[in-house]
Structure 1
Amino acid sequence: MRQIYYFILFVVFNVQYVNAQYVGPDPNFAQIIGVASNKIVFSKSGNIYAGNYSNNNITRYLPNGTIDSSFGNSGAISPSQSISFREENGTDLYLSSSNKVLKYNFNGTSNNSFGNNGECILNIPDNGLIVGLIVNNDKSMYVKTSSTSGYNLFKVLPSGVVDNVFGVKNFGTSNINLSKTNDNTLIVSHATANASEYKLIKYTPQGDLDTTFGNQGILILPYTVSVTNYRVGVIVNSLNEIITRQVGEIRKYNINGNLDNSFGNNGIFSISSITNITLSAEDTDFDVDKNNKILFFSFTYAGDHKQFIARINNNGTPDNTFNANGTQPYYLSPPDWTVNWSTLQYCKATDDEKYNCITNKRLGLASYQQNIIKFTSNFSASLSTTEVDRKNLEIYPNPVSDILNIKLNFNEKLQKINIYSMDGRLVFTGANEKSNIGFLSAGDYILEVKTNKNTYNKKLLKK
């Protein structure tokens, strides 16, 4: 029902706002229900890889949300060992199992030319596990591991052999995050052991500190790290610019670690500069699209549970072409006052200007369900009511107080009418050319008229 509503909303919004860009849930995406949120990987191509809590299966979904039957066995691979999907890189797939890096072909079969029959085994201290990796442009990769002795970093060559020249870097018990540049250098970001500061460390592909970066290879970010203020994010865009985020604030640094003062206000962009809406103190996520614009994802916690997405130009100004209604430089979903509200949790941009997100839906007291939805921003507006609609359908009065009249072309027969609230709820259904809707609250609605030949969508104003 929601999918139908969002399609209707797309049509109606396009009718209203000429030259405005539609932003909102993608009506062509089949929502994926009940996923294991920590086993989901969103690829830039739009493909979605979903692991499973109950078995070792990994399923691939196409960008429209349907299962890709060309992958593995009817859309899934079912290895005998427990594996985690890590990254889709072109036609190569990278996974891990315990202390092994695995490389698969795009169809879900093992790439036996990599390492030893498709596997590269790492000698991780204290029987540790692989917990993350990123693949470089030359197909080498940096691999993050975790054990009782802390977090370690390895490099694996394109052939599937451990790079002993790079060595093994240990970062103690403080978790690390990895970002790569176009020339295969590595930026490691992490809080210090006493959680008093957050720093970036840049390594050359050979494993040496890049002394041209920051202070002899290390940049201390001006962020306060604490239990309630810890969500720091770091991304390197295709221009080798470093984008950092913490609690509603975004900064941009150049590849040498200098703050880019041409970005925003002296290198800083604040979400509060485009909205006074109170957003979640932890934010949700951020990403960079193919045009190096910055996406900021969050939600409101003030009882109305609205989902929020903003897009920021590469120079640190609001992208005013990115909006849901032509009046604001961000998307804000309708409020959800029900007990089954959803918040955004993990979001990534795809190369076709769409955004895959995991939502955290409340089912009841301390009970939640994770689902996957997709937002889109690449619908062009064309919009006015067509001449065909004007000839074939007339609704009156509009605005309406009580009796709504529907008049059709002589060769069309009314089959059904549906009225939706602006948050997607079906509030009225009928099959008569005269309907009493006086019971509806004043406000905007979407009217769907189905005939034996067509389906029409109109915006309806209830007085």
Structure 2
Amino acid sequence: MTKNLFLILLLAVQTAFAQILSYDNSFASNGKYTITGSNNYYWNRIVQNSDNSIYFTYAKDNPSLGSPECVVSKLNANGTVDTSFGNNGETIINNYFSGVQSELKKQTDGKILVMCFYTNGSAIVRLLPNGLPDTTFGINGIAKIDNIGTDFNSVGYGFYLQNDKIIVYGQATSDPGPYIHYKSIYRLNSNGSVDTTFGNNGSFNTPGNFIFLDSQSNIISFISNHNNTNTYTYGALEKYNNNGQPFISFGNNGVLAFTSNPGGVDSAFMDSNNNIVCSNINNEIFRIKPNGDHDNTFVFDNNSFPFNPMTLSSIITEKNGNYYISGLTGSMGETFFISKITSTGAIDSTFNHYSETTGTPDFIGEMIINNNSIITTKGVNKILKFMLNNLTLSVSNETKTNISSIEFENPIKQNLVFSTKEKVIKIEIYSIDGKLLKTVQENNSNVSELLKGIYIAKITLENGKSITKKIIKN
């Protein structure tokens, strides 16, 4: 057996923190769930529950309707369909069709909200946790809003939860002319009725391309420079208070016009600090501060791999101040990747990126970032679950030790064999997700019960020092 010195001390173990290792083979079929009957065009949304079950949306073709109907379904934590939900695992919202990116959220009481569409406008549908319509909401669980829908890039609609109220927005048009696009923003009461105390008798209009709800429940309208109203040369931010009235202390009576061109914004996302993170048509990512200034502390290099020969997804996900984003590479977009960007715009070297060639140009869509896993949608009919090596060991008392202090035979087969000049008190073996699996004290201890894979060994020495290293079991 060849002896190899592992040079991975605590610092290096932290460097490996939260990388994607592989698919979670305990989820669905080798980490991949395929939605049967899904339309081949409309994207999905996902929401995870505390028990790790997942609600998701998809679109199912209805020939008589002439459009795909919106469907909500549920997976158990292991990726199997929860047949107790709705009708054998799904709830079809009859005669209401999906948007390109359907909208799905869960209230604090466990009820589910989904946004879908009909010929003349949009609808918010509320379901009970078991998938049945909540008849206390709207009419049989459906609250309809006429004359709002999607926009040209299918991101100009959605809804937010504002305490017990619901902020709903979508693309609207002037009728009769002149024909001008704008956003209409409504607020619904908890029973689905329009809240007439909001805005101007329940709603207001804005030329914004993107609508956000900040951490103080104020409404932010981001007007990018390609807006067709030409009201602002370089675009602007409009700010409204939580009741839909102009926030007069912001900018000029609630409007802050940009003094420089932010670029053709393709997608935008508001993070937990009320910054607006944008990607533009040149695959550049930049950040706008809450006061409207360009954030020069955020510097993203779109020439760095894997971001140079690629197309970005329109969905950005934040977790603990970092941004997760995906895209496609390859001559035909046949390879997808997932990467992590720090709060300063740099690629997180500890996460780096995960890529996979699938042969089809299908974007990774919405992502749920957990401590030990990432759950994503892919294309129009896949839900994927990846495992992270998110080590949860306590490291507050760890001490760096000379790299030559201990040497393991590697890979391990039946016994854990090591050599060191210092006395070992114990070796704790952890799974990649931080669970203690075995503790040994003697050299050549039998570890045959460990499955093949990667583990973390925490070695405690007599002098009080400890070392943390990766080991591989064959």
Secondary structure of the 1:73 match is: coil
Query: 1:295 and 1:212, CA in 2 relative to 1: closer, same or farther beyond 3 A?
Result: farther
- Separation in 2, partners of 1:86, 1:23: 27
Q: 2:255 aligns with which of 207, 217, 242?
A: 217
The answer on whether the counterparts of 2:171 and 2:184 sit within 8 Å (CA) in structure 1 is yes
| Structure 2 Cα separation of the partners of residues 303 and 80 of structure 1 | 37
The equivalent position to 2:111 in structure 1, one of 89, 92, 110, is 92
Change (3 A) 1:353 1:146: farther
Give the secondary-structure state (helix, strand or coil) at the position aligned to 2:87: coil
Q: Provide the C-alpha distance between the structure 2 equivalents of 1:243 and 1:132, rounded to a whole number of angstroms.
A: 18
Q: 1:32 to 1:142 in 2, by over 3 A?
A: same
Q: Which of 371, 384, 388 in structure 1 is aligned with 2:382? A: 371
Cα separation, 1, equivalents of 2:269 and 2:306? 26
Q: Please tell me whether the aligned partners of residues 48 and 62 of structure 1 are also in contact (alpha carbons under 8 angstroms).
A: no
Which residues in structure 2 correspond to 1:83-162 (within 5 Å)?
84=98, 86-89=103-106, 90=108, 91-95=110-114, 96-98=116-118, 99=121, 100-122=123-145, 124-125=146-147, 129=149, 132-146=157-171, 149=174, 150=181, 151-162=183-194
Q: What is the correspondence of 1:30-429 to structure 2 with a 5 Å cutoff?
A: 30=28, 31-33=32-34, 35-36=38-39, 38-43=42-47, 45=49, 47-55=54-62, 56=69, 57-62=71-76, 64-82=78-96, 84=98, 86-89=103-106, 90=108, 91-95=110-114, 96-98=116-118, 99=121, 100-122=123-145, 124-125=146-147, 129=149, 132-146=157-171, 149=174, 150=181, 151-165=183-197, 166-167=199-200, 168-171=203-206, 176-190=209-223, 191-193=226-228, 197-214=234-251, 216-220=254-258, 222-225=261-264, 231=266, 233-246=267-280, 247-261=282-296, 263-264=297-298, 268-272=299-303, 274-275=304-305, 278-280=308-310, 282-302=311-331, 305-322=334-351, 330-334=352-356, 340-352=359-371, 354-360=373-379, 370-380=381-391, 389-390=413-414
- 2:413 is paired with a residue of what secondary structure? helix
Question: 1:186 offset after TM fit, Å?
Answer: 1.5
Give, in angstroms, the shift of residue 153 of structure 1.
2.2
- Residues 311 and 319 in structure 1, CA contact (< 8 A), matched pair in contact too: yes
Cα displacement (A) at 1:353: 6.0
- Which letter maps to 1:59? S
Structure 1 residues 117 and 306: alpha-carbon distance in aligned structure 2, compared to 1, 3 A threshold: closer
Q: Distance in 2 between matches of 1:318 and 1:454?
A: 34
| C-alpha separation in 2, matches of 1:143 and 1:385 | 60
- Which amino acid counterpart does residue 258 of structure 1 have in structure 2? D
* 1:286–1:294 contact (8 Å) kept in structure 2: no
Alignment partners' CA distance in 2, 1:68 and 1:301: 37
User: Which letter does structure 2 place at the counterpart of 1:255?
Assistant: P
Q: Which amino acid aligns with 1:359?
A: K
Judging changes above 3 Å, is the alpha-carbon distance between structure 1 residues 213 and 376 closer, same or farther for their aligned structure 2 residues?
farther
**Compared with structure 1, are the counterparts of its residues 25 and 193 closer, same or farther at alpha carbon in structure 2 (3 Å cutoff)?**
farther
The one-letter amino acid paired with 2:385 is: K
Matched residue type, 2:240: Y
Distance in structure 2 (CA, Å) of the matches to 1:79 and 1:344? 26
Deviation at 1:291, TM superposition (A): 1.0
C-alpha contact (below 8 Å) 1:242/1:252 kept by paired residues? yes
Per residue, is there more helix in 1 or in 2?
1
Q: Please, which runs of 5 or more residues in structure 1 have no aligned partner? A: 1-16, 323-329, 361-368, 393-452
Asked if the contact 2:371/2:388 (under 8 Å) is kept, the reply is no
8 Å Cα contact 2:337-2:356 kept in structure 1: no
Which residue identity does 1:380 align to in structure 2? L
- In the alignment, what sits opposite 2:423? none
Cα distance change of structure 1 residues 371 and 143 upon mapping to structure 2, 3 Å threshold: same
Q: Distance in 1 between matches of 2:133 and 2:294?
A: 44
Identity of aligned residues (%): 18
TM-score, normalised to structure 2's length?
0.62
Instruction: Give the CA deviation at 1:97.
Output: 4.8
Distance 2:89 2:409 in 1: 41
* Structure 2 residue ranges without an equivalent (≥5): 1-11, 63-68, 151-155, 175-180, 394-407, 417-448, 455-470
Two-structure CA RMSD over aligned residues (Å): 4.1
CA deviation string 1:348-384 (max 9, x = no partner):
2334464444434xxxxxxxx75332344354399x8
Query: Quick one: distance in 2 between partners of 1:276 and 1:82?
Result: 39
Q: How many residues align?
A: 354
Question: Following TM superposition, by how much is the alpha carbon of 1:297 offset from its aligned partner in structure 2, in angstroms?
Answer: 1.3
- Note the C-alpha offset of 1:140: 1.6
Change (3 A) 1:53 1:176: farther
With normalisation by structure 1, the TM-score equals 0.63
TM superposition shift of 1:193 = 0.5
Say if 1:185 and 1:224 are closer, same or farther in 2 by CA, change over 3 A. same
Kept in 2, the 8 Å contact 1:309–1:331? The answer is yes
**3-state DSSP of counterpart to 1:52:** strand
Aligned CA distance change for structure 1 residues 43 and 352 (closer, same or farther; 3 Å): farther
Classify the secondary structure of the residue corresponding to 1:38.
coil
Residue 398 (structure 1) aligns with: none
Determine the C-alpha separation between the residues in 2 that align with 1:50 and 1:217: 36
Q: Is the 8 A contact 2:59 2:97 kept in 1?
A: no
Structure 1 residues 303 and 391: alpha-carbon distance in aligned structure 2, compared to 1, 3 A threshold = farther
Match of 2:6 in 1: none
Task: Quote the offset at 1:73 in angstroms.
Answer: 2.4
Distance 1:93 1:256, change over 3 A: same
Deviations 1:373-401 (A, max 9, x none): 2344354399x888872459xxxxxxxxx
Cα pair distance change 1:176/1:141, threshold 3 Å:
farther
- Residues 279-321 of structure 1: CA distance to partner in whole angstroms, max 9, x if unpaired? 32x4113423331211121121336843222212224443232
